[in-house]
Amino acid sequence: MKLSIIGTGYVGLVTGACFAEVGHQVICVDNDAAKVKLLQAGGIPIYEPGLEAMVKKNVASGHLKFTASTAEGVQNSEVIFIAVPTPPQPDGSVDLSYIERVARDIAAAMTSYKIVVDKSTVPVKTGEKVAETIKRYCAAKVEFDVVSNPEFLREGFAVGDLMNPDRVVIGVASPRPAAAMREIYTPFKAPIIVTDINSAELIKHAANSFLALKISYINAIANVCEAAGANVQEVAQGIGLDERIGRRFLNAGIGFGGSCFPKDLSAFIKISEQVGYEFKLLKEVQRINADQMERFVNKITDTLWVLKDKKIGVLGLAFKQNTDDVRSSPAIDLCQRLLQDGATLRVHDPKAMAKARALLPTVTYVEDMNAVAEGCDALVVATEWEEFKQLDLARARKGMTAPIFFDGRNLFDPAEMEKLGWIYKSIGR
């Protein structure tokens, strides 16, 4: 099918590439002309495993094109996906101005029947507003349908998540767009759930809030484990093997971050409030998450006593593994807290150092993870990168003034670490 995607951020670019990969004819639109040029020349503005090869292949085969013109995208496609940012406002509500702008631009360019699909994460009832806006600004008065099709991809696994989704959610008001959407998603061989538009919009916020709740739950359990002398990983295993609970997203740590969970939680609390329900449970999820960082910083200061003039090595800057994204990263938060207390930092991340530079201009960036500990009073793990498990512990220890290790992601085994002579502190164990 002929598709266009407005917005080439994480969601838009990966969606465009995957739709092209399964044989659709895709035009990706972005109003950032420099980004469009970069993409046309084969450059990829984000790090996402598998994406670059997929984009290059589909550009070469002519299935994937990039343009800065919304009109070009709209006029050459039957279905138009909106994948623009929906950033948070200071009060937690969602800024929908990019969505509204795009709805107007689409309306202005429409000359024949179109299906306009919202893929950005939006508050319930946004579809209604998009439909009203298009109707108001469409001079040609052509027919159109609005669809909600929330995206559940995780950064770092975006291509895999998109090619093999657990489910595809399609919110429609009539059968015609439902049939077109089914056709688009047939090659993905995933269960398709067709709902009304409001329910589809709500599914996204409800899903992300539940996952955040699951993480805060295990972090709260970790705190009980610490107080009671139990091991949170064993507890997670024990409860997670119950299929009704599931083992995934039960990793205790220094809390969740990124551009989705914190934002979507705040938005869902606000949306619920607006429709008349105070979602106290989700407020507690937020509180536990903030507290988790506090407790970890306290663990560090309890051991090191004074942070002023202490040299600390930090492994991990991205908000999680397999990404270069540092937006709302707990690791960056932690670094800023340690710097505020007067520590100096030597940091390493396999992918996120370039993006971290703007947020942490005063730290020393170390290319080799095994060299981070040199001259340090303590070593901290802040992001759950698998490769940190391969750290040369003997070399790290040799270069440090004291063998102190704070593992904010439970990557190492406490008994092993103690056997190797480390003063080792982790989460809930």
CB-nearer residue toward ligand UDX: 133 or 208:
208
Binding mask 181-220 for ligand UDX (x = CB under 6 A): ---------------------------x--x---x-----
Q: Which of residues 383-422 bind ligand UDX (CB under 6 A)?
A: 384
The three-state (H, E, C) secondary structure of the chain, written as one string: CEEEEECCCHHHHHHHHHHHHCCCEEEEECCCHHHHHHHHCCCCCCCCCCHHHHHHHHHHCCCEEEECCHHHHHHCCCEEEECCCCCECCCCCECCHHHHHHHHHHHHHCCCCEEEEECCCCCCCHHHHHHHHHHHHCCCCCCEEEEECCCCCCCCCHHHHHHCCCCEEEECCCHHHHHHHHHHHHHHCCCEEEECHHHHHHHHHHHHHHHHHHHHHHHHHHHHHHHHCCCHHHHHHHHHCCCCCCCCCCCCCCCCCCCCHHHHHHHHHHHHHHCCCCCHHHHHHHHHHHHHHHHHHHHHHHHHCCCCCCEEEEECCCCCCCCCCCCCCHHHHHHHHHHHCCCEEEEECCCCHHHHCCCCCCCEECCCHHHCCCCCCEEEECCCCHHHHHCCHHHHHHCCCCCEEEECCCCCCHHHHHHCCCEEECCCC
- Pick the binder of ligand UDX from 30, 155, 201, 324 (CB under 6 A): 155
Q: Please pick, among 138, 225, 260, 335, the residue that the annotation labels catalytic.
A: 260
Q: Which amino acid is at 75?
A: Q
Could you confirm whether 138 is annotated as catalytic?
no
12 binds ligand UDX (CB under 6 A): no
Sole binder of ligand UDX in the list 47, 256, 406, 412 (CB under 6 A) = 256
- Give me the least distance between CB of 111 and ligand UDX, in Å please: 34
Among positions 8, 233, 251, 410, the unique one binding ligand UDX when judged by CB under 6 A: 251
Per CB under 6 A, does 258 bind ligand UDX? yes
| Cβ 78 to ligand UDX shortest distance, Å | 26
User: 402 exposed, middle or buried (CB, 10 Å; 0-12, 13-18, 19+)?
Assistant: middle
261 contacts ligand UDX (rule: CB under 6 A): yes
Distance (Å, whole) CA 400 – CA 355: 27
99 counts as binding ligand UDX under rule CB under 6 A: no
Selected from 84, 250, 317, 363, the binder of ligand UDX by CB under 6 A is 250
Encoded tokens for 385: 């990168």
When binding is defined by CB under 6 A, the residue of 98, 217, 249, 279 that contacts ligand UDX is: 249
Shortest CB 41 distance to ligand UDX, Å: 27
The answer to whether 101 contacts ligand UDX (rule: CB under 6 A) is no
How near is the Cβ of 294 to ligand UDX at its closest, in Å? Answer: 15
Number of residues near ligand UDX (by CB under 6 A): 20
- Which residue lies nearer to ligand UDX by CB, 210 or 277? 210
Taking the C-alpha atoms of residue 114 and residue 147, their distance in angstroms, rounded to an integer, is: 11
Piece in contact with ligand UDX (CB under 6 A), picked from 98-106, 251-259, 298-306, 368-376: 251-259
What x-and-dash track marks residues 308-347 binding ligand UDX by CB under 6 A? -----------xx---------------------------
Note whether 382 binds ligand UDX by CB under 6 A.
Answer: no
Residue sitting closest to ligand UDX (CB): 260
Shortest reach from residue 46's CB to ligand UDX, in Å:
12
Q: Which is nearer to ligand UDX, 14 or 396 (CB)?
A: 14
Burial 131-162 (b: 16+ CB within 10 A, else e): bebbeeebeeeeebbbbbbbbbbebbbbbebb
Site string for ligand UDX, 135-154 (x = CB under 6 A): ----------------xxxx
Kindly tell me the burial class for residue 56, based on how many C-beta atoms sit within 10 Å of its own C-beta (0-12, 13-18, 19 or more).
middle
| Contacting residue, 260, 282, 297, 360, with ligand UDX by CB under 6 A | 260
Cβ nearer to ligand UDX, comparing 36 with 335? 335
Minimum CB separation from ligand UDX for residue 262, in Å?
Answer: 9
- Token readout for 184 is 């688009």
Binding of ligand UDX at residue 88 (CB under 6 A)? Answer: no
Does 171 engage in binding with ligand UDX (CB under 6 A)?
A: no
The set of catalytic residues is 260
**Chain contacts with ligand UDX (rule: CB under 6 A):** 151-155, 208, 211, 215, 249-251, 253, 256-258, 260-261, 319-320, 384
